[in-house]
Amino acid sequence: MSSDASPMVTQLDGEPVELQLTFDMVKRGLIVAPVVVAVCALIWGENGAWSAAYAIGLVLVNFLLSAMLISYTAKISLGLMMGATLFGYLIRLGLIMAAVLLVKDTDWISLPALGATIIVTHLGLLVWELKYVAISLAHSGVKPARP
């Protein structure tokens, strides 16, 4: 980024750190998914297990869409990235709502399991990822492994 260019039209070059963080969260989500599905199966039965699996899929796709949107628009301009982040959030919330409305009346869904899993998985993965994020200019993204 040059000093004479407007920061709103300047693009960001470099590694897409958001993709690195998201792939890390997806990996952790796939690791914890069997536990979440099992817990939901114990509480809500077979429908709870199917609902939890569906919810985890929604959450992971939501994270991936977000990261892809940010990394793609950051290469064009910062203003576009900010707009895409704001409106992309609203669109992704709408997609989650549409995905829930699509299955809400089916026999295999448990709405309490679905809602609880969507909320807990979103927040849980974000909080879990905080432990592994390096917030420094030297190593942005996932912390480098210790020797």
Output the tens digit of pLDDT for each of the chain's 147 residues: 445 556 556 766 767 788 888 999 999 999 999 999 999 999 999 999 999 999 999 999 999 999 999 989 888 888 888 999 999 999 999 999 999 999 999 999 999 999 999 999 999 999 988 887 766 655 566 666 666
Radius of gyration over alpha carbons of the chain, in Å? 18
Whether 5 maps to a domain, the answer reads no
Best CA proximity match to 63, nearest among 116, 28, 26: 26
Place of tokens 């942005």: 140
Residues of the domain holding 76 = 17-142
Whether 71 maps to a domain, the answer reads yes
Whether 10 maps to a domain, the answer reads no
pLDDT at 78: 84
- Residues 27, 66: Cα–Cα separation, whole Å: 16
Whether 110 maps to a domain, the answer reads yes
**Count of domains forming the chain:** 1
- Residues 126, 101: Cα–Cα separation, whole Å: 25
Whether 12 maps to a domain, the answer reads no
pLDDT at 142: 64
Longest Cα–Cα distance in the chain? 61
CB 109 within 8 A of CB 48: no
Whether 3 maps to a domain, the answer reads no
Whether 136 maps to a domain, the answer reads yes
Whether 41 maps to a domain, the answer reads yes
**Joined tokens for residue 91:** 């669109």
